[in-house]
Structure 1
Amino acid sequence: MSADLDTAKPTEADRATGPALLKGWRRKCPNCGTGPLLRGYLKVRESCPVCREELHHHRADDGPAYLTILIVGHLMAPLLLIVFETWRPEPLVLFTVFAVGCIGLSLYLLPRLKGMIVAFQWSRQMHGFGGTA
């Protein structure tokens, strides 16, 4: 009976989604939470340098970019309308401020959302992450 318990594969309960998403937001390994998830700006490491968890299984693809566009668009569009209706700034000033804001927010969110998507896939044991932790 104890042999069955020793060889049991980790379940989804062993890989809680919430903590994994927070680790992904911090761009840390979803398994140990201390090793860096990304090498460079968006390149996911082959494995964690701390716990040796394999990370190459991820299939983030266009998900982080799509979510970034969705979030930035939903934040900036109403803000643009509010600023325009309230203060009526010059068009060049309005364009410049919002262009810089959109670019800055996009650059901030993109690696964090990629980390969250990889961590979500890890926690749900998707795309080959179901091996030993």
Structure 2
Amino acid sequence: MSWQAYVDTNLVGSGKVTKAAILGQAGGVWAASPGYNLSPEEQSAIVKAFSNPEATQASGVRLAGQKFFTLQVNDRSIYGKKGADGCVIVKTKQAVLVTEYAAPIQAGEATTVVEGLADYLIGVGY
């Protein structure tokens, strides 16, 4: 399956994620939903955010020009909120899944989808 298919089918296609991108930890966008553009600075900051959870918790994350307040961050996952909307960012062995969801989608619904795909990718070596 192509990286774009994971975005289109597993993430956005689930109906629980409204925008998604898959980044390589070494840099670059592997796939993204149409019109979802993360700047090079945002991409770099997202990848680095996992190594400094305290700073990420304090400053939040910026995705496609939108700032999300960090609700929780650990060495695998970052959960953020912006009004009624939110983001779920999950690191795998080689990639970072970056997703956003919009109300009325609940955080738990999006989290289940994104974390599930991350578990699968980790299981197959990515």
Whether these two folds match at TM > 0.5 is no
Whichever structure has more strand as a proportion of its residues is 2
Relative to its length, the structure with more helix (as a share) is 1
Give the TM-score normalised by structure 2: 0.29
Structure scoring higher RCO (CA < 8 A, sep ≥ 6) equals: 1
TM-score normalised by structure 1 residue count: 0.28
